[in-house]
Structure 1
Amino acid sequence: MSVALWPEVQAAVAHLDRLLATLPEPGARLPEQQAEVAAVKDAARTLRMRFLEARIDAVYDRLTDGRTRELRTVELVEAAAVEFPGLVPTAEQVAADRGRPQADKEGYEIDQGIFLRAVLGSPEAGTHLLDTMLRPTPRALRLLPGFLRTGVLETASVRLERKDGTAHLTMCRDDCLNAEDDRQVDDMETVVDLALLDPQVKVGVLRGGTMTHPRYRGRRVFSAGINLKSLHAGDISLTGFLLRRELGYIHKLVRGIRSDDAPWHSPTVEKPWVAAVDTFAIGGGAQLLLAFDHVLSASDAYLSLPAAREGIVPGAANFRLGRHTGPRTSRQIILQGRRIWATEPDARLLIDEVVEPQEMDAAVDRAVERLSGPAVVPNRRMLNLAEEPVHAFRHYMAEFALQQALRLYGEDVISKVGRFAEEGRSRCPAGA
């Protein structure tokens, strides 16, 4: 189908590019220059959104050859920049922004968010993209033969080991309390892929490793969420981190992996998952728990989603949390930063089992045994189908793509992550 970017969109983008060429770098602009740029960007973005609302399926089909090619989010925005100049920022513009601190960026990821919102909002294009993101990554396929042979893989962020039919994933960013960045998301998706692709694995377990951080030296920690130091430095990306995380490995935990080796009666290979929480699960760590089949916690641990304090959207937690806790508690946790201790009554809405810290290993073994039965996978599939329909998840992620992009460049977010960086913390618990 023939499709071209509207001339008025091209003209608005050309006007913006000419204006930016006459101005200093974003961080050095005067207030009146900033206001002028914002007005011109808003005009161009309004036209982009109108074009995409009218032509997104034709655009997506052009980029994917009628949905015969599978392009992940990063590849998709890169292809759109080449095929439809002006629709999304160029690779050069994105690279230039990536090299700047968050406060000094032009904000091109917002334009990527506009595009991906339209793609995910389309039942046809969005469903195809979700299916594409459930495919194993090239890195995982490259590492698969070695892992099948040895049963062990060491990455910079996660250690994967197969023991007696169980895949043990241990997050080992001991320098930053397992705070997530682009590298950790890449490593996590790789090991989740391998665990799902390995026919010897029946159950997966995720746990944090032992830390060397001064305040938690010698203790296991589950996760401190997003790495705010990396965010301040401009090293947290929309497509490579925020969307890849939600549409990639976390969605694979829920739906499984699309594989040519999947059984004839299912498009994906699924397995049950256990999460074991030591010390705390903050932010993205708490988000992760909502995708697991069984969550156990040490009695001295706590959970929190400090989204309002940080100013960003906590992934798909707004979509999933209320299903577990009900609307009032979910608002207390997300909007007001309520911390949930493992031993308080409301924790049972999020945690299946609480044990003393020294009993965690045995509790993990018991949970694995309970989830090893042959009827577990088909029943979890039916539960997830009822609790989290694909169309509802797609609709949520469409709006998330844009809202999170906007939040990345909010003045409050930039100010807050700047303070974290000045204090020398990559991401410590709230109040630590």
Structure 2
Amino acid sequence: MSILKTLLISIMVTCALESFGQSSFDTTRLIQTKTVTGKISPKSVVYGDGKIYAQNMMYRHSVTVYDTLGSLLKTIPDTVTLSQFGIDNKTGVFKGAPVEGSITPDGKYYWISNYQMYGQGFDNAGCDACSDSTYDHSYLYAINTNTLAVDHVAEVGSVPKFLAISSDNKYLIVSNWSSADISVVNPQNGSLIKTIQVGKHPRGLAFNQNNTKVYVALMGDDAIAEVEIDSWEVSVHKDAGDAPRHILYADSCLYYSVNNENSVTKWDLRNDSKESAKVGTAPRSMAFSIDTAYAYVVNYSSSSLSKIKLKDMSVVQTIPTKSKPIGVTVTAQTNKVWVACYGGSLICYEEREKPSIEESNFYMIVGSFSSEKNALNFSDELTRKGYPASILSSADGKYRVSVFQSNDYSEMVQNQSKYRVIVENPWILRHR
């Protein structure tokens, strides 16, 4: 067979596998591997340029920056002197209130939004319940990813929330919650290009693949706005669910969390079809796996993280988090999933291969459950603590968690005491 023919067959097989949506994460489960604490109350978390950026709640007045192992690199205060950036009518020192962030495609700048500004002349801030153009404007900061200092600022609308940057680095768009509009900014220098009214309480944003459209979640209108980039014309799509919040885009589909319906919806733009997955309570931010086969969503009120298989919108895993998970991001190459918990922590999860059950005569059992979900959660917890665990299902409907297996009964007895740190009386199950 010729080399060319072999190559063509290889390409065809690869494409066929991709079309079926096979993923390396089909056979893995999330395991918690690290928790970061300190003087933080992270409201969002973003990976970019090899770093983890956490925006802390407004009264912390800071962005904390970490390496991908979770070591703190720098705490960046939100204090600025606006006149140093050419804002001549603002004298003195001002503070912000970081909300969200987004990194430029070239990795040069990390832009953050500030809920409001504090200082002279800022005395009419917007609020969560506000929807009016009369409130104070706020500012975005461009943080230089090398110096980790503010290089540029950009004046936008009232209570700016989410930011999205086009893949060609031409447009930065921010949703302004209280002023019901979006600001279009040059991400390279911070100059304002345009302001566009979109609807009540805009939140999530996502560009399509070729940057010809941007989609905006309108939490206050239960709708999604579609904005044409060239003409800046706005079309509003109603019936998006009760409070759509965060949006992702991939392969001509929108995926958005519906905050008050405890679900994530997939909207196929090619045929206008929709399907949903039920997740935890009050789903907030989402992030794709690095192969976009899965989405991770944090559930704020039920303190959990859900993993959704996008091919069929099935929830394949839900794992506990710390209090009030509100942000999530995924690192490139390694697919580490970082979760921001408003209660005061950042948690790292990794995809690990599910432990396999070998055919043995005897198993060391440390737990028996009627619910497979509870057995999986216990198994994950043990694996995280250094006891690789697997699950045995049986005809009686029980799911038993095993931490050791052997064909030698005497070896099982010798090791039994070792596992008393897990449960008081681990027992030996004989396989029949």
The answer, yes or no, to whether TM exceeds 0.5 is no
Compute the TM-score of the two structures, normalised by the length of structure 1: 0.27
**Structure having the larger proportion of residues in strand:** 2
Rg larger for:
2
**Structure having the larger proportion of residues in helix:** 1
Higher relative contact order (CA 8 A, sep 6+): 1
